């Protein structure tokens, strides 16, 4: 494997500290599948499996699409490691809508850009530049299997392009593609003003870049979440959430997420949460703010990364109509 592809894979390990458990995710390919979208979820400690009531349900829990109302579109753009590389970014756009008599359908497109790299020959002479990226379109569907119980599936295609063949020492393209699926469910308990969500993500074949014998597994994991609304009045609402996330890869670990949201007059929301990821060296608070007006919502969150990286700011926007 050329040093160029090896360098890109090294950046994958850095992003592992951003996406989740570093030890387990260092074994995984297609890191873009692990980056959670939506600043609202970020502000609540990245606990959203049992909520997922916007277009980001395509990623968080396709089972929640069963309860989609109207149309919802969400988009975000984030620089992942601005203190290390200013041109490494992640963008995500999702759309979901209700289909009468069927449930809800959704589509999303995630793009992870690794920025520009310099190619060199065996003697260290520069031979040009190249860019590396990942792209992952997803189609999802959710329906009610029975009253208050939603079930959904999301199908993904992922393409990872680390280095073109003419920029590697062995003239082999550092790229690969694969498919994956998420399976999720959401059960609502209206009398308790609560819900329970479960999702298994990234089930699919390994991805290989140059040598199929050195393929990498996708970041397969399972998430279980609960959400409770203990207080809900005309002027305000309180939402409490908690998730546990288990990596299904060898050496995987548990990640615990919890948080809450205080919404005032359906206009302003204050959020806070906590991420406990011992192997990813993330044990810190999250916080955020949301503004909502006539279906347009702007969300902000400050989230921690691994101990080797600074906190980052996340912004997202959505429109419900």
Q: What is the DSSP letter of 248?
A: -
Which pair of structure tokens corresponds to residue 269?
């929301």
Does the pLDDT value for residue 253 go beyond 80? yes
pLDDT attached to residue 239? 98
Is 60 in contact with 41 (CB distance < 8 Å)?
yes
> Helix or strand or coil: residue 29?
strand
What average pLDDT is seen over the chain?
88
53-76 pLDDT per residue, tens? 999 999 999 999 999 999 999 999
pLDDT in tens, 119-146: 766 666 776 777 889 999 999 999 999 9
Helix H or strand E encompassing 115:
strand 103-120
**All residues at 6 or more sequence positions from 216 whose CB lies less than 8 Å from its CB, including other chains:** 27, 28, 29, 30, 206, 207, 208, 209
pLDDT for residue 12 is more than 50: no
Q: Superfamily for 3-320?
A: Outer membrane protein transport protein (OMPP1/FadL/TodX) (2.40.160.60)
Is 50 exceeded by the pLDDT of residue 46? yes
For 74-91, what is the mean pLDDT? 91
Cα–chain center distance at 154: 13
The answer to whether 93 touches 75, Cβ cutoff 8 Å, is: yes
2 versus 199: which is more confidently predicted?
Answer: 199
Q: Say if CB 150 and CB 172 are below 8 A apart.
A: no
Q: What is the 3-state composition of the chain as percent helix, strand, coil, each rounded to the nearest 5?
A: 15, 55, 30
Nearest Cα neighbor of 151 from 90, 196, 202 is: 196
Burial class of 205 by CB neighbour count within 10 A (0 to 12, 13 to 18, 19+):
exposed
Give me the residue spans of the domains in the chain.
Answer: 3-320
Query: In Å, what is the CA distance from 120 to each residue of 3, 113, 133, 195?
Result: 9, 21, 19, 54
* Confidence band for 166, pLDDT divided at 50, 70 and 90: low
Mean pLDDT on 239-259: 93
pLDDT value at residue 23 = 43
């Amino acid at each position: 494997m050329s040093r160029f592809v090896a360098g890109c894979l090294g950046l994958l390990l850095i992003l592992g500290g951003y996406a989740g458990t570093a030890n387990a995710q260092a074994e995984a390919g297609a890191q873009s599948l692990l980056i959670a979208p939506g600043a609202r979820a970020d502000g609540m400690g990245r606990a959203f499996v049992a909520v997922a009531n916007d277009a980001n349900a395509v990623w968080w829990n396709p089972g929640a699409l069963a309860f989609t109302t109207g149309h919802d579109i969400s988009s975000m753009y984030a620089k992942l490691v601005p203190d290390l590389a200013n041109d490494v970014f992640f963008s995500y756009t999702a759309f979901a809508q209700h289909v009468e008599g069927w449930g809800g359908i959704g589509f999303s497109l995630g793009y992870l850009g690794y920025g520009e790299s310099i190619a060199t020959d065996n003697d260290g002479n520069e031979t040009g530049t190249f860019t590396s990226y990942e792209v992952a379109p997803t189609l999802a569907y959710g329906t009610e299997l029975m009253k208050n119980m939603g079930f959904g599936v999301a199908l993904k295609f992922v393409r990872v392009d680390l280095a073109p063949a003419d920029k590697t020492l062995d003239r082999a393209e550092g790229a690969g593609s694969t498919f994956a699926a998420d399976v999720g469910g959401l059960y609502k308990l209206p009398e308790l003003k609560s819900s329970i969500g479960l999702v298994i993500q990234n089930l699919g074949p390994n991805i290989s870049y140059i040598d199929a014998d050195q393929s990498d597994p996708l970041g397969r994991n399972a998430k279980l979440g609960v959400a409770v609304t203990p207080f809900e009045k005309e002027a305000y609402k309180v939402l409490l959430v908690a998730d546990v996330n288990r990596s299904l890869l060898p050496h995987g670990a548990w990640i615990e997420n919890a948080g809450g949201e205080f919404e005032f007059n359906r206009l302003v929301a204050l959020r806070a949460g906590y991420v406990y990821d011992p192997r990813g060296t993330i044990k810190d608070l999250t916080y955020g703010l949301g503004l909502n007006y006539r279906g347009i919502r702007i969300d902000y969150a400050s989230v921690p990364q691994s101990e080797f990286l600074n906190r980052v700011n996340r912004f997202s926007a959505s429109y419900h109509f």
